[in-house]
Structure 1
Amino acid sequence: MALLDTIRGFYLQALARLPRHELRTRYHRSLLRGGYCYGPLDPVSNIILNTIWFDVMFPAAQQPVLDMIGPNSLTRLESRSFYGLASFLQTRYHNLSEHEVVQCLVASCGYLPCADRNLDNAASAGDDHMSIANLNLNDAAGGEAERQREKCIFTSPGIKDTIRKLEQQSPCTSTQEAYEAAATAAWHCDPEAQAVFLGSCKAMLQGSALSLLQSGDPLTSENVQYIANLLSPTQKPTPERIEKLYCAVIDGKMRSEAQQTRIYKKVEAALGKHLLQDGDPMYELHIICSANDSVCGPEYCSDNDNALSPAPCKFRYSHVNFLATRKGARSA
C-alpha cells in the first residue's frame, strides 16, 4: 500500500505537468492505455515518456474531448504499473521473492535505475552506480508525514538485508527481456515494441528532450510535440480500428458521459466561487482525476433526475479529486 500510494503521487505529478489541451484531447487515452511508470528515467518522466510514445505508435481513430479520468481508471493504471515494476525485478533476479521485490521497490521509491544496480541505462546516463542506501527519500516522498514513514520503512532490518541480497546478485536476463516481462504484466497492447523502445529511448531523445522530461517543470504544447517528433517512427502507424459497440457498451458509455457532465458542472461551480478582484475566475480546471459517487446513501430515487442510473437509488454526495491552474501560473 505504501508503494501504491507513492505511485499515485507520481501520476498526479505527471497529470499536472502535461498541457491541459493535449491531456483532454489525446493524452488521457494514451496515459490510461500505456503510460506506465517503469523505464530508464525517474517514474514521473517515465509516465510522460510512455504516454507520448503510445500516442505516437498507437494513435486513436477518434479523439474525444474529456475533462475527467474515470473513477476506477487511475487505480487500475497504478496497479498495472506496480505489476510492471515487480515483474521487471523478478525477471532480472530470480532468487528474489515477491516480498523482497516489493521491499526493494519501496526502498528505491519505484526508481528502477536505483533498485537495479546493473541496469544498463544507469551507466549510460553518465552517473556512477547509485546505491539504494544512498538514495535520499526525503526529496521524493513529500510532506513531513511521508518523510517519517519512508524513513521508518527504509531503516527496517528486513529491507536492509534484502538490499544487500540484491546488490550481491548478477542479473539473470537482459534489460529488454525484463522490460518485456514488465509490459506483459502491465497488460500493454504490444509488450515487445515497448521493451525495444524503453531499451533505446535515451538514444532516440536528444539532450534537450531529456532535460525537458527530467526538469520537473510543466510541459507546453510545443514541448510535447517536440518530444513526439523525436519518437515518431519512419513509417506512419495505423490508427486503431473502431470496434462495433454493443447495447451494453453504449449504455455504459451514456452513463459515463452523464456522470462526467454532472461532475464537471459541480467542479466548475466550485471553482467559480473563487474570483479575482476584477471578477475573473481565479482558477481554470486542468483535469478531474477521479470521483467517488457512493458517498452518503444509498437513497431511493423518487424523481427522474437519475434516469441513467442502473439502480433506482442514488447517493447524496460525491467525492471528487481534480487539478486546477491558478490564473497567471504555469503549473497545476
Structure 2
Amino acid sequence: MQPDLAAANRRVMEDLTKKYGVTPETIDYVTLGPVCVEPRRIVKVPHPPIPAAGAEGPPRRHPGSEPSPLEAALLDTVHRHHLQALAMMDREIVGRHARGMLLAGYAYGLHDPVCNILANCLWHDAVFPASSSPEVLQPMMLSCKAIFRLARRSLDALVAFMRAYAPALSAEEAMSYLSRSHGNLHHAAVLVDREGVFHTNRMDDAFRAAILAAHLPSDAAREAQFFFIVNCAPTDAFLAKHGIHGHPLAFGLSDLRPQSNSSLIVLEFVKLAASSLALTQPPPSSPSLSQGAYRALRIKMHAFKRDQEFCLGIVNIALKKLAFQFGELYQIHLLCGKSLVTLVPDSYYHVNFLASRESEPNQPKLFFAEDRASLKDVDDVTLCCPVTLSGRTGGCSACEYMGMKLIHPVDEKFNGQCDFTKGKDPHIVELFRKEPTSEFDVPLIDDYIFFELDQHPEVITFLETSYSYMSDDQVDPSLLWFENYMP
C-alpha cells in the first residue's frame, strides 16, 4: 500500500504553523518561503542577455492573462514536437540524453523542428558532457512542467528568429508564419521571401537572437551552440548513407527509411558534426555552495527521486492493466509528467509516459493513464490508453486549472474532463488557478538533478539567494513552502 504522502505533508505543515505562529493568511501568499523563519523574500534569478529591439520573442504576459488563440495553438504544436522528439529515441538513448533535452532541446535550427530538438539535445551532451559525479543522475522522468517549459522557450526562440530575420514583423505576424510552416524556420523564411516581406537575409544574426531567447544555461553554452548551428551542415554523402536525399536544409526525420533507427542516425550525425568543430571551452571554474544552499540542493534532488519512484509505481500498475487487456507486456521508456486531480469523493492521478511493447522495443508510444490516488492494485486504474500526437488532443479542465500540460485522449472519458470549477466561487477559482508558465522564473525540480557547479550559474544564484543565510534546521521547513513538494 502506498503511503499517504499528501496527508503526511499536511500534518507536518500543521505542526510547523503551530510551532512558529504562521497564520493561514500568510500561507496563502508564500511561494518561495521561508515563511517560518522570516518574511517572504523575493528572489530574482538573472536572465541571459536580451537581443536588441525587434529580435525578442512574444511580449511577456502578466500572470493570469491568456495567450492569443494563435499563440496557444502554436504552443500546443511545439509542445507536441518535443514529445515526438522524445518518442524518436529508444529506451537507452532517451534516458542517457534526458539531460541534454532539458538543458538545450529546443526547436530552432536548420532542419525540421523535431530533428532540431534532437540535434540540439545530442549536441549539448556531446559538447558539455555530464561529470562523472555519482550525484548527476540518469533519470527516467521529465516533469510535464519541464517539457512545457521547453516548448515555451522554443516558441520564444522561433519568434525571436523570425523577428530578427524580418524586423518589420510583429510577434503575432511572426507566429502566423510559424503556424503556417508548423514551426519549421526554413519553411517560414521561404514564406516571408515569397510574400515580399522585407528581410535582412542575415541568418547568423537571426540564430543568435533565437539562442539568446532560448535561455541556455550559460554564456559558454550560448556561444558554443551558435558556433555549432552556423558552421554545421551535414553532407549529401552522409545523408545518402541513410537514405536521405536533397539539400541539407531538407534533412528531417520524416525522410528516414522506415527500417532505420532514427535516434541512432541523428546521434551519429551530431557526433560527426561536433567532432569537426574546433570548440575551445573555457576552463571550468570551481565554485562551491554554502552549507544552506548545498543542503537545499540535496533535499530537492531527493524529492525528485522520490517523486520519480512514486510515478513509476503508478505507471507500472497501469501497464499491468494494459497487459491484462491486450495480453502483451510493455516497458517504460520515460515518464512525461503527472497531475493530481482532486475531486469529491475521489482524487486521481493523470500521467503521461512513453512505453513500448517488449517485442518492439524501439517503437515507443505516448500513453495516458488515470489512477485513483489510493492506488492499491490494477482495479484502481480507471484508464490506460495510447494518445496521438499528430492531431487534436483531449482537454482536461482539472489539469489546466492546476497549470499542468498533459496530453489527454480525445475519445475516452476521464475524471476532471470538463466543468471542474462549475459551482465554485469565481473569485476563488481565479485566485487559485495556476498558469503553466508561472514557475518558469525559478529552477524546476528537474533542474537540480542535472545541476553542475561550473555549468549552471542561475541555479547557483537561486540556491544561494534563497538558502545561504539559513541553518540546516531552517532549510528543512522552508522547503515545505516551495513548489517542488511531494504528492
One fold, TM greater than 0.5? yes
Contact 2:224 2:279 in 1 (8 A): no
1:167-202: CA deviations, max 9, x gaps?
Answer: 313422611111111010011233232222222322
Contact 1:60 1:239 in 2 (8 A): no
- SS of the residue corresponding to residue 319 of structure 1 reads strand
Distance 1:282 1:176 in 2: 48
Contact 1:59 1:240 in 2 (8 A): no
For residues 239 and 65 of structure 1, do their structure 2 counterparts lie closer, same or farther at Cα, with a shift above 3 Å needed? farther
Q: Which residue number in structure 1 is paired with residue 228 of structure 2?
A: 197
User: What is the CA distance between 1:70 and its match in structure 2?
Assistant: 2.0
Q: How many residues align?
A: 269
- SS of the residue corresponding to residue 179 of structure 1 reads helix
5 Å-filtered alignment, 1:141-152, equals none
For residues 250 and 213 of structure 1, do their structure 2 counterparts lie closer, same or farther at Cα, with a shift above 3 Å needed? same
Distance 2:203 2:288 in 1: 35
- SS of the residue corresponding to residue 168 of structure 1 reads coil
5 Å-filtered alignment, 1:38-187, equals 38-62=108-132, 63-117=136-190, 132=191, 167-172=195-200, 174-187=202-215
User: What is the CA distance between 1:274 and its match in structure 2?
Assistant: 3.2
Whether 1:231 and 2:273 are equivalent positions in the alignment is: yes
Contact 1:85 1:110 in 2 (8 A): yes
1:108-135: CA deviations, max 9, x gaps?
Answer: 1111111102xxxxxxxxxxxxxx4xxx
- SS of the residue corresponding to residue 195 of structure 1 reads helix
Distance 1:241 1:59 in 2: 17
Residue type of the partner of 1:82?
L
Q: Which ranges of structure 2 fall in alignment gaps of 5 or more residues?
A: 1-71, 245-250, 365-487
- SS of the residue corresponding to residue 233 of structure 2 reads helix
* Equivalent residue in structure 2 for 1:319, among 337, 342, 350: 350
Distance 2:208 2:166 in 1: 15
Residue type of the partner of 2:231?
S
For residues 37 and 210 of structure 1, do their structure 2 counterparts lie closer, same or farther at Cα, with a shift above 3 Å needed? farther
- SS of the residue corresponding to residue 273 of structure 1 reads helix
Residue type of the partner of 1:20?
R
Give me the CA root mean square deviation: 3.1
Residue type of the partner of 2:206?
A
User: What is the CA distance between 1:316 and its match in structure 2?
Assistant: 3.4
Contact 2:168 2:198 in 1 (8 A): no
Q: Which ranges of structure 1 fall in alignment gaps of 5 or more residues?
A: 118-131, 133-162, 300-314
User: What is the CA distance between 1:240 and its match in structure 2?
Assistant: 9.0
Larger deviation, residues 208-217 vs 2-11:
208-217
User: What is the CA distance between 1:241 and its match in structure 2?
Assistant: 6.9
Structure with greater helix share of residues: 1
Q: Which residue number in structure 1 is paired with residue 106 of structure 2?
A: 36
Contact 2:105 2:121 in 1 (8 A): yes
Distance 1:298 1:71 in 2: 24
For residues 198 and 236 of structure 1, do their structure 2 counterparts lie closer, same or farther at Cα, with a shift above 3 Å needed? closer
Larger deviation, residues 256-265 vs 215-224:
215-224
Contact 1:287 1:323 in 2 (8 A): yes
* Equivalent residue in structure 2 for 1:255, among 303, 307, 312: 303
Q: Which residue number in structure 1 is paired with residue 332 of structure 2?
A: 285
Residue type of the partner of 1:263?
C
User: What is the CA distance between 1:209 and its match in structure 2?
Assistant: 6.1
For residues 232 and 108 of structure 1, do their structure 2 counterparts lie closer, same or farther at Cα, with a shift above 3 Å needed? closer
TM-score by length of 2: 0.50
For residues 265 and 222 of structure 1, do their structure 2 counterparts lie closer, same or farther at Cα, with a shift above 3 Å needed? same
TM-score by length of 1: 0.72
* Equivalent residue in structure 2 for 1:19, among 60, 66, 90: 90
* Rg (Cα) greater in structure: 2
- SS of the residue corresponding to residue 359 of structure 2 reads coil
Residue type of the partner of 1:232?
A
5 Å-filtered alignment, 1:208-223, equals 208=241, 211=244, 214=253, 215=255, 219=261, 222-223=264-265
Contact 2:123 2:271 in 1 (8 A): no
1:296-316: CA deviations, max 9, x gaps?
Answer: 1699xxxxxxxxxxxxxxx93
Distance 1:320 1:33 in 2: 23
